[in-house]
Chains A and B, each alone.
Chain A
Amino acid sequence: MTIPELLDGLFPAGHAVAREGDVLAGTGRASAGEVAVVGIAGGAEVGVEAALALAGELLRVVREAPGRPVLALVDTAGQRMSLRDELLGLNGYLGHLAATVELARQSGHKVVALVTGQAVSAGALALGFVADEVHALEGARLAVMALPAMARVTKIPLERLERLSAGSPVLAPGLESFVRLGAIASIWRPPLAPHLEAALARPAAPDARAALGAERGGRTLALEVSRRVASGAGALPAAPGARRVGESGPRRGGGDGR
């Protein structure tokens, strides 16, 4: 689906969204009124310029259009990996972007994210995954990292990873995995406008993704663990002689950033 087709589907009453580079900004008309549209398009990598432009657009919306709901369109292959971006502090630019989403939320703007193409790793985090609700178009491709790269970093043979990831929402890249984990609330199929209208009409609520992940069976422990820690449970002395691998285990990395 091209961007104009997508926007026609979401806003049959009209829209005015400009694309500058890979950044989308503008408005669409929903039945309840104008909706601010921001987004990253074309499966682009998010570098410092795009992160700053997106944050600037969100600040402008908060300043000039109090309370206007926000639709964040996400299609990114991840963060731009370059020495220049790291020198300038890309993590700081993306942290700033996430904070502007929070500002919008705190200022009464409902923020709905829609994954329209790819949503990979850190590119998706700071705009999409901090929205009030995150949905995805059918066919969207979500991932942290492709399995071959994952095999290299974790030193787990690729064939083994492929075998293990089949049916595992925790390992297998793909939309279905993220639905089961609770990260994607729902999949939108045409006609798109009713989905958007329904999302805009729902009041913003606290982060319920862990509960959704438990309900859908994709994350069996996250909700319980988070609740136990939040309630102050588990303040027990360590059992003598308990074997703790954590402090003496093999020094083996496995992060997305290192």
Chain B
Amino acid sequence: MSPGGPLVPRRSYREASARRRILGVLDPGSFEERLGPAERVTSPHLAALDQPVAFDDGVVVGAGTLEGRPVLAASQEGAFLGGGVGEVHGAKLAGLLAAALRDRPAAVLLLLDTGGVRLQEANAGLVAVSEVMRGVLAARAAGVPVLALVGGGWGCFGGMGIVARCCDAIAMSEEGRLGLSGPDVIEETRGVEELDASDRGLVWRTYGGKHRWLIGEADLLVEDDLDAFRAAATALLGTRRPIDLAALSSEHALLAARLAEHGGAADAAAIWGGLGVAAPAALPLLEVDEFLRAVAGARRGTR
């Protein structure tokens, strides 16, 4: 909240539904959904498991405008099976990216809120995620920027965490976590000695937006607020990360340097200290604007 400004209540992005998020990020009245709930295209695989279906299979896709510029957008519903990607859900995302190749919008916005592959239809989900990955890369190669927004309750994990990093840019909130293997999966697989998933501080330091932004995994750190995400998407509209030898060589150097400099760090705070942050232990408690002042100059990144 801006000091001295009017007390406008924030509209939490994290607490909003997928549909509310997409409507809040795009220009008012501009969104036209494709294959919406009225079409009732549901997962054919959930019924056999006695699982409820959703008439949109947990993802809202369509076209709209952002500050008057035509965009395609998708928004995953974390409240439905953790935003998991199944056959239909994934095909809606892949179809949207195929549309981008033809329609050349100013950008494709992916509002990601997902635990990754939907295990109830695991194989189809994994293949779909790989098709989405190819779709994102193909759109980028054709010159259409693909932007990821990460701020939902499930964060962005599993194969979709890789998809997010196949995009041109990522805007995320501290609350929206990003990674590959989530804390519960690591604890389950490797034991609590490897990662205690109940240690919320540890989980946020590792996966949260501040850490991801500081090490160069995310491009913009935003408040958990619908308007803030809209502003971030607008700010990123012109962002392109070309898929060429020069750009990928710089990215490679950044990732190699991160591994060399911080590969021995046992905790995110140690990495922040290594980046030159004066009081790393204090970072988790800071609001976004205070945080940005406290870490000025410490961020690594080519973008």
Contact = CB atoms under 8 A, between A and B. Distances in A.
Interface string A121-139: 1100110011000000000
A202 interface: no
Interface in B180-206: 180-182, 184-186, 188-190, 194-195, 206
B39 A52 contact: no
Interface string B57-95: 110011100000000000001011111100110111011
Contacts of B262: 87-88
Contacts of B140: 102
B114 interface: yes
Given A252-B82, A255-B158, A257-B161, A236 B39 contact: yes
Contacts of B81: 249, 252-254
B258 A88 contact: yes
Contacts of B124: 169-170, 181, 218-219, 222
A235 B188 CA distance: 42
Interface in A181-228: 181-183, 206-207, 209-210, 213, 218-228
A246 B61 contact: no
Interface stretch (B246-254, B276-284, B289-297): B246-254
A71 interface: no
Interface stretch (A5-13, A15-23, A28-36, A152-160): A152-160
Contacts of B188: 149, 152
A229 interface: yes
B287 interface: no
Contact of A55 (B58, B207, B252): B252
Given A52-B256, A99-B166, A228-B34, A144 B117 contact: yes
B53 interface: yes
B130 interface: yes
Contacts of A103: 243-245, 248
A91 B61 contact: no
Interface residues of A, number: 103
B115 A253 contact: yes
A91 B162 contact: yes
A179 to B, nearest CB: 11
Contacts of A100: 248, 252
A141 to B, nearest CB: 13
B137 A99 contact: yes
B240 interface: no
Secondary structure of the B side of the interface?
helix
Contacts of B33: 234-235, 238
Interface in B13-54: 17-19, 32-41, 44-45, 48-49, 52-54
A102 B162 contact: no
Interface residues of B, number: 119
A240 to B, nearest CB: 9
Contacts of A258: 82, 115-116, 154-155, 157-158, 182, 184-185
Contacts of A256: 115-117, 119, 122, 125-126, 157-159, 185
B237 interface: no
A229 B162 contact: no
A18 B248 CA distance: 24
A170 to B, nearest CB: 5
A2 interface: no
Interface in B113-152: 114-131, 133-135, 137-138, 140-141
Interface of A: 48-49, 52, 55-56, 59, 62-63, 79, 81-96, 98-100, 102-103, 106-107, 121-122, 125-126, 129-130, 142, 144-145, 149-150, 152-154, 156, 164, 168-173, 177-178, 181-183, 206-207, 209-210, 213, 218-239, 242-258
Given A121-B117, A209-B127, 6 more contacts: A81-B190, A168-B45, A209-B131, A225-B88, A233-B35, A236-B39
